[in-house]
Chains A and B, each alone.
Chain A
Amino acid sequence: MSLSRSLLQGASSLAAGTVFGLGLAIAQMTDPNKVLSFLDITGHWDASLLFVLGAAVILSAATFHIILRKPSPRFDSRFHLPQSALIDARLVTGAAIFGMGWGIAGYCPGPALASLGFGNSELFWLLAALLLGMALQAWLDRVSYPKARLDST
């Protein structure tokens, strides 16, 4: 890959990441109590998270439809899309375990990382354990399927 292309990829990734972090902060998804107030449907329910997700999905669905008709992205030779359409026990158990973690503390990975930006000390504990959890699944994959390559979204 040429130097200018890798610079362009780096710059566009930095820009996209910054916009993502800003979006999370503006939507107050960096506040775990805001997230838990959405998940706690029996309490004083706060529907904000549904609006965040809805706006993000609707805009992305419209742009993805246009973008994916192009032969390639601007700064790469091809699109890197998840190939799996499999709906199996692994997907469902993974999503359920993920949801349990999200429901305990109110952090999913995006807000957890974005909240590092204002030095929230809760995240040092949470992210250390998160990396450990990811490492355990990666290790299990290595043990069970030595040659399989994770097709991560």
Chain B
Amino acid sequence: MTDFTPVSALVGGLLIGLSASLLLWLNGRIAGISGVLGGLLWPGSGDRAWRGWFLAGLVLGGGGYYLVTGVTAPIRLGFPVYLLLLAGFLTGFGSARANGCTSGHGVCGLARLSLRSLVATATLLIAAIATTYVVRHIVGVSS
């Protein structure tokens, strides 16, 4: 159970928007994490360098925040490994199939007023809400 934190949510959201804006303004690229990652991994894309730097920054920013501020990093304990594996597989497969994830469709696609991304974002939100309900309240897994 977590509490509603509107201020940090807005600040964090603005930084994500700033990041997407910088990447488009400077490099002409869309800050969709699954797309950036997919293009880094498969042969055929000759533009791996910027992808690698972007993802390195993502890890650096995510880790650096806790290092610099001393805020305790959110480490969940006891969540079943089989569910982590299932969740990872479905998010990887689904984002590759939909050509985008929460950031590619949800942030950048909506910002570009793409109907395709609006359909994707609505679909993934509904599926996620239904799945969380099943996992937490029917299967009974929560931590």
User: Measuring CB to CB, which residues of chain A are less than 8 angstroms from any residue of chain B?
Assistant: 6, 8-34, 36-37, 39-44, 46-61, 63-64, 67-68, 72-76, 78-82, 84-87, 90-122, 125-138, 149-153
Contacts and interface: CB of A to CB of B under 8 A. Distances in A.
A64 to B, nearest CB: 5
Contacts of A16: 19-20, 22-23, 26-27, 31, 54, 57
Contact of B128 (A39, A55, A113): A39
29 contacts: A9-B26, A13-B53, A14-B54, A19-B57, A23-B19, A24-B12, A27-B16, A30-B62, A34-B74, A43-B136, A55-B11, A58-B17, A81-B112, A92-B98, A96-B124, A99-B125, A100-B127, A100-B131, A101-B87, A103-B129, A108-B102, A117-B61, A120-B74, A122-B75, A134-B34, A134-B92, A138-B96, A150-B38, A152-B39
Nearest to A59: B17
Q: Does more than half of chain B's interface fall in helix, strand or loop, or is it mixed?
A: helix
Contacts, number: 524
Nearest to A127: B88
A54 B10 CA distance: 8
A64 B24 contact: yes
A9 B49 contact: yes
